[in-house]
Structure 1
Amino acid sequence: MKTKNIVLGILSLSSLMIGCTKLNQEFYSQVTPETFFQSEKDILAALNRPFTHARWYLGEDRWRLQEYTADNFAITTKGRHWYNGGENERYHYHRWTQDEGWIWGSWRGTLMGVALALDAKTDLEKLDYTRFALTEEDKQAHLNQLNTLAAFFYLRGLDYFGGMPIFTTLEGESLPRNTDAELFAHIESILQGAIPLLPKKEAGAAEQGELKAAAAVTMLARLYFNAEAYIGKPMFQECMQLCQAIVDQQHGTYALDQNWYGPHGFSNHQSPEIIWSIPSEFNKLQYDWFYADFYHYNSRQFFDQDMGANNGAHLTPSRRPDSTLYTGAFRLGSPFEKFAASDLRKRPYRYLGNGTYEGMFINGPHRTRTGGAINGGEEYRDQPLIFRDQVGRFSEVGPGKRYPTIADLPSTMANGEENTGVRLVKVPIPTLAENTLRWGADNPAIRLAEVYYMLAECKWRTGDVAGAAALINAVRQRNFAGGNDPDPVTVANLDKYRFLDEWSIEFLGEGRRRTDLIRWDAFVTEAWWDHQPSNSKHLHRFPVPTEAISGNNNLEQNPGY
């Protein structure tokens, strides 16, 4: 196998992400398909290697670019912690530059994902599968999983950056960027070619990370769903047709899970709603990157676990320091209060044992499983921790202190404390007593609820408001005891903001918020907590990172940077 010069030429990979990507030229220059592939196990190892990169890619910097630039999450400065040179504020206020680490990591990670998929495909397509008691159909399924995976990375790259260098082999270097339209057409072509050659899910089959036909169809639907933002051409009708076909089970047998926790729990690989998931297992490929960022240093006592955390991220506040709601100040954000009081998900997270749990938030008094108070370690050292759906330096209020009364408290990115913000527990965490379950929940990369919501939005945009409401309510009803939804979607209340609220509620923390805001022309035109609109549409695209351009002077910067 020839050395992969394109990887160095495009990505300037003098160093790689530890634990996710290690393309070693010496290794690859010594191995050939004829000497390496001795069994079906070797084939599957090569096939699965790029999927380990996808596991990493779905979290960390990519998630941060989607959520911390939008209205639902923030990393406030908490006293001496988390200012980070102003990085978190730059993302929140939409003042990022081409020198940001998250942006470079996402550019590099995107093209690395494409390269890894093509590398595996190059090896597998040379093999005679009959040597391994496999069929030509097996081979085409494998090759088109890799094609689909490459399309997935490119689709995310299009979303973040617009046009990127298109390459279909691992030869060449310093390629220029293709246009947005060219990359759009490339993704479309790959997925259209892969769909008929991928297997369909059979009823009752568990999801183990394979890309099946419905996953490729959903990716194509995503491409069309956001086409107006990508290439200036609305394609909601095309998206609607694809989504309807999935709902009608033309591409495999899927169904909405009857329980809200089904797509997220320890056995979510068995959920009929999962279209594509990234497997996770304790001490293997763990879906755990978020834990350190989301939880307090002492939350190990709450979970009865032994893991440390750094207390960074939280939901943006729904309430002012004086406890009044931000209702009327802005329409977006306030994610915790967007959940109805009777929503089963709004209950405090509590692990019940034997793989069962309830709720998905940490709010209010922080307590151990036996009811004991958990104390703070910073502003509230040796005092009980009480998480607030607010941002403010409450510890500095009182006679002789910085702020005489709560009415004097500012609420900005600079004013957090260790107990600031509601914390999300979307991925369940067991106790140490049942630690074999830890990180047993797979990462649900695509689930049927998304298809329902895309179909609903397409129907709404094409005039079928009643049909749109029915689809959303089909998902909502499982979130309430007995299906008694106190505020169902109706023809009368389904507008832009209700749609954005529904996307926020159902997919909170799933790494898509920025894309939804852009599609609704709300990302740079709307206000949310401590964020004023810039009305600068060039911010719909992140800049090409300085490190990418310095390694490839054929790359052109995005307009506005």
Structure 2
Amino acid sequence: MKLKNIAILLFAVSAFTGCTKLEEDLHGQVGSGGVGSDDVPALLNATYVAMRNPYYGPYGWWALQEFPTDEAMVPTRGGDWDDNGAWRALHLHRWQSDHTRIHSVFKDVLGVSYAATDILQYSPTPSQEAQARFLRAFAEFSILDGWGQVPYRDPGENVTQNPRVRQAQEEIDYLISELNEVSDNLPTERVDRVSQDAAKMLLMKIHLNKGAFLNRQSPTFANEDLQEVVRLADEIINSGKYALTDNYFMNFAPNNGQSTTENIFTGENIGGESSATGMTNMWVATLHYNQNPSGNNGFCTLSDFYNKFEESDVRRGGEYPGVTSVSGVRVGFLVGQQVNQNGENLTDRRGNPLAFTPEVSIIERDQNHLEVAGIRVIKYPIDYANGSTSLLNNDWVFYRYSDVLLMKAEALLRLGQSGEALNLVNQVRTKRSATAFTELNEDLLLDELGREFFWEGHRRTDLIRFGKFLDEWQEKPASDPKNLLFPIPLNQLGNPNYTQNPGY
């Protein structure tokens, strides 16, 4: 039985990487003759685990959602973080169809879709089937968002055959139908598994972004889609199950799957037992070598984005229990002189004060500045209790209640109901100790989305929907409309069902 379970898990994992010889062999060994309904729980759990690679941490889908935007950048620091210009290409919108990050994310997200699809041939229970179909829809939504066309297979279909491909309108119609069909069979009791409310939120995102997915250069918003966003939001709001938390960063802290009323859908990590090891990169990739934990001194935000926050806004961050007292590291934005747990000033590797500066260039050459250039970001409070194992207790946050409120606000604003929209935005701002707005327009709302969801992998989608993604911003010139979509990776184009996106 142990060997059989290992084979099942290998079979699921093999699907994540696309069609390989290993996959074909395993499909022949443990296909319909070796896997049955008794194995569905293991396969479903393996699909949840498969979500970790593309989604948990800063090197997968998050990287494609953040680095091409105004809120994140990876400067080249002397010889560090050059990587043949791959990071610079993301921020400057200069990627091509052979970009390794774009390829790997496409492959890993598609793997989740195929793994979820595979479950459906083994007679799952209604709840198991609904969860698998949601996970497939979740992954397909990301592919639609990033690439505008979505490959798919039917359950049990021969993996050596080229997958068919849905274009945007067909995929949108499919996702809406699929989620409406499975919603009633989804669980209701856990935030670290998919749920009925998670399905409502994904439907809200589809309806809100539908016009942008169909016309990225000039998004339009149909009243019926906006009204559906409002209707779904009201169902979640009126359930009374969720509320904005008093401590913003608790939503991302260890044990956040159980300790907050705001999270609606998270990816489970169990401290010391089972966790996405890539979660550690949420702080390692941004902290300096001489901080605790020792970082790789890479990722930063930009001063123009940081300056969107007023001083009273708790989302800017500060000291955090169990973090600052252990290491001196604060949560939120790290700017200025950094200290250890005793309040003693830290230095960089050359002995200069470790004082992070708002000033940063996409290529840093000054040896006395390159290690401290750029404001650093700690969105997930560090789990020191489990740090030695890299098996952390911070769940990855997919959906929060504030997103429900602000999606409803955006829909109402686009429907011309700015007064009610303003009240919802101020509900969030007041909880975050920010000054209430006296008016609301699209520019103010887009900035508020940035403040509320910074470094959560939202920004690219929001900028496209608001018509700002091609604009000039800090360390990036205005860019070509082709960049509204990522290119289909070169190694996928052997499938004649794909059409390479325009401009590539």
Where on the TM-score scale, by shorter chain, does this alignment land: which range? 0.7 to 0.9
Q: Distance in 1 between matches of 2:412 and 2:256?
A: 29
Amino acid at match of 2:472: A
| SS of the residue 2:251 aligns to | coil
Q: Distance in 2 between matches of 1:545 and 1:289?
A: 25
The change in CA–CA distance for 1:82 and 1:519 in structure 2 (over 3 A counts) is: same
Q: Does 1:293 align with 2:285?
A: yes
Q: Distance in 2 between matches of 1:115 and 1:434?
A: 32
Bigger Rg, which one: 1
Amino acid at match of 1:169: P
Amino acid at match of 2:184: P
Amino acid at match of 1:545: P
The change in CA–CA distance for 1:196 and 1:528 in structure 2 (over 3 A counts) is: same
The alpha carbon displacement at 1:517 in A equals 0.1
Amino acid at match of 1:489: F
Q: Distance in 2 between matches of 1:473 and 1:236?
A: 20
TM-score (norm 2): 0.87
The alpha carbon displacement at 1:353 in A equals 6.4
The alpha carbon displacement at 1:470 in A equals 1.2
Contact 2:331–2:380 (CA<8 Å) still a contact in 1? no
The change in CA–CA distance for 1:545 and 1:293 in structure 2 (over 3 A counts) is: same
Residue 31 of structure 1: aligned partner: 30
Residue 425 of structure 1: aligned partner: 378
The alpha carbon displacement at 1:370 in A equals 0.6
Residue 228 of structure 2: aligned partner: 238
Identity of aligned residues (%): 27
Q: Does 1:518 align with 2:455?
A: no
State how 1:142-541 maps to structure 2 within 5 Å: 142-172=128-158, 173-201=161-189, 207=191, 209-232=192-215, 234=221, 235-249=225-239, 253-270=241-258, 271-283=260-272, 284-286=274-276, 287-300=279-292, 305=293, 308-316=294-302, 318=303, 334-352=304-322, 359-377=331-349, 381-391=350-360, 411-414=361-364, 417-431=370-384, 439-480=392-433, 485=434, 487-491=435-439, 494-524=440-470, 526-534=471-479, 536-541=480-485
The change in CA–CA distance for 1:88 and 1:10 in structure 2 (over 3 A counts) is: closer
Contact 2:16–2:50 (CA<8 Å) still a contact in 1? no
The alpha carbon displacement at 1:431 in A equals 4.0
| SS of the residue 1:164 aligns to | strand
Contact 1:121–1:146 (CA<8 Å) still a contact in 2? yes
Counting matched residue pairs gives 477
The change in CA–CA distance for 1:358 and 1:470 in structure 2 (over 3 A counts) is: farther
| SS of the residue 1:268 aligns to | coil
1:278-323 CA-partner distances (Å, limit 9, x unpaired) = 01133421333433322211122xxxx4xx432111001x2xxxxx
Contact 1:10–1:174 (CA<8 Å) still a contact in 2? no
The change in CA–CA distance for 1:33 and 1:8 in structure 2 (over 3 A counts) is: closer
Contact 1:110–1:153 (CA<8 Å) still a contact in 2? yes
The alpha carbon displacement at 1:265 in A equals 1.8
Q: Distance in 1 between matches of 2:49 and 2:387?
A: 26
The alpha carbon displacement at 1:121 in A equals 2.6
Contact 2:267–2:397 (CA<8 Å) still a contact in 1? yes
Contact 1:349–1:425 (CA<8 Å) still a contact in 2? no
The change in CA–CA distance for 1:176 and 1:352 in structure 2 (over 3 A counts) is: closer
The change in CA–CA distance for 1:437 and 1:260 in structure 2 (over 3 A counts) is: farther
Contact 1:10–1:175 (CA<8 Å) still a contact in 2? no
TM-score (norm 1): 0.78
Q: Distance in 2 between matches of 1:371 and 1:156?
A: 43
The change in CA–CA distance for 1:38 and 1:243 in structure 2 (over 3 A counts) is: closer
1:392-447 CA-partner distances (Å, limit 9, x unpaired) = xxxxxxxxxxxxxxxxxxx4445571111111111111446997997211111111
The alpha carbon displacement at 1:180 in A equals 1.1
Q: Distance in 2 between matches of 1:6 and 1:141?
A: 19
1:20-74 CA-partner distances (Å, limit 9, x unpaired) = xxx74444433367866696xx543222111111122214221111100010000
Q: Distance in 1 between matches of 2:257 and 2:36?
A: 29
Amino acid at match of 2:283: Y
The alpha carbon displacement at 1:340 in A equals 1.4
Q: Distance in 2 between matches of 1:434 and 1:169?
A: 39
Q: Distance in 2 between matches of 1:288 and 1:5?
A: 27
Q: Distance in 2 between matches of 1:26 and 1:364?
A: 56
| SS of the residue 2:318 aligns to | coil
Contact 1:338–1:501 (CA<8 Å) still a contact in 2? yes
Contact 1:257–1:273 (CA<8 Å) still a contact in 2? yes
Amino acid at match of 1:556: T
Amino acid at match of 2:403: E
Q: Distance in 2 between matches of 1:214 and 1:6?
A: 27
The alpha carbon displacement at 1:6 in A equals 13
Q: Distance in 2 between matches of 1:495 and 1:429?
A: 36
Q: Distance in 2 between matches of 1:162 and 1:6?
A: 26
Q: Does 1:99 align with 2:98?
A: yes
The change in CA–CA distance for 1:434 and 1:70 in structure 2 (over 3 A counts) is: closer
Contact 2:244–2:431 (CA<8 Å) still a contact in 1? no
1:428-476 CA-partner distances (Å, limit 9, x unpaired) = 1144699799721111111111111100001111111121111112122
Q: Distance in 2 between matches of 1:152 and 1:433?
A: 29
Q: Distance in 1 between matches of 2:109 and 2:129?
A: 19
Q: CA RMSD in A?
A: 3.1
Amino acid at match of 1:255: A
The change in CA–CA distance for 1:14 and 1:442 in structure 2 (over 3 A counts) is: same
Structure 2, gaps ≥5 residues long:
1-6
Contact 1:7–1:13 (CA<8 Å) still a contact in 2? no
Mean Cα displacement is larger for which, 178-187 or 511-520? 178-187
Amino acid at match of 1:47: L
Contact 1:68–1:74 (CA<8 Å) still a contact in 2? yes
Contact 1:280–1:441 (CA<8 Å) still a contact in 2? yes
Mean Cα displacement is larger for which, 52-61 or 412-421? 412-421
Residue 544 of structure 1: aligned partner: 488
Contact 2:244–2:401 (CA<8 Å) still a contact in 1? yes
Residue 42 of structure 2: aligned partner: 45
Q: Distance in 2 between matches of 1:434 and 1:557?
A: 43
Q: Distance in 1 between matches of 2:322 and 2:281?
A: 24
Q: Distance in 1 between matches of 2:448 and 2:213?
A: 23
The alpha carbon displacement at 1:490 in A equals 2.4
